[in-house]
Chains A and B, each alone.
Chain A
């Protein structure tokens, strides 16, 4: 879906990925229903770029991130990583591939084992993937990475509860980058942090991305954070990509009505602008993924919806170079 003419190798290619969960029926006699969390998602990610995935709760953004890393197994589609489809690999092959693919979680404290020291937590990927390292070498690597993420190496023997949320997130980041992975999925990494700490962690991620040549998938509900860190962006609604493209284009000229509404709902920290701008007021809540509406998923809340929207899912089309959307009534650039 993202086909801008940027140079660089394709690192990850996701094709028609669909992830479903089985929901147990309330009655013994009824069949379980299927919940489609990620629905026919395709995109390409080039090396060294950062892809932002935005959407509201329940849109499938976390499931998508985990389906890529094979933490959740998808039902259909392909995840092509270094020429191989991850969905075809054995669990052991996936385990080995994880050396190059790491994840950072939202809740920094909960994602650290309270009974392990910080040093052991950060060293764990090394013990798994580089078992031949001596103890001294491992400690050296841990101290090095602690320094790189802004932790004092003297804290190596402390336990997670002795750290603040921001520091704990730095530990999570250190653990993710110590094996020098190529791809890191960041799942709402700053949402649980205070504003001043959030800025520190974003700045750190930007620094590490440059130093280590990382490719990032940055999942967040916060549009301003995504705009700050991403090169490309995917907008998800009810498991489907409704709009995608390079960040600058999508943010300056969103084409899909949902993207427009989402952007216009984001509060702007400028009182004069906030008073002046006209806002799209969306009615109602997002539909339940258990019971998706027919046709376009956004159609029940969309002010542009017509009959065709209610019957057929709109195809994904190119809006302009570097931007595509799935909508029959999208804002297209004026003909030249």
Chain B
């Protein structure tokens, strides 16, 4: 049997973190949560993870900045990073793609589709 897939979700909204936590842990994923890009970077420096799911608009370090920093280092260069955002502009999507995001999901999210995407990018 596969070992449990570990996910880090990065979102500044406590309500959104609770929704994500429920949607993912109920499907058997091991979920850690960070409230902005800075906290995520600190956590990722010390912990292993299989997939990162990040919001874009966050204080301190936003989603674009987080993706860029992760892609610059060796440890998380190839880590799947899914962007989960209310942003629907093509320009922002292109920017995320250029920064090195693996995928783009517009909120409100559908738990089944989110879980399917996590399974796809983590295998």
Q: Verify that A and B bind, or say they do not.
A: no
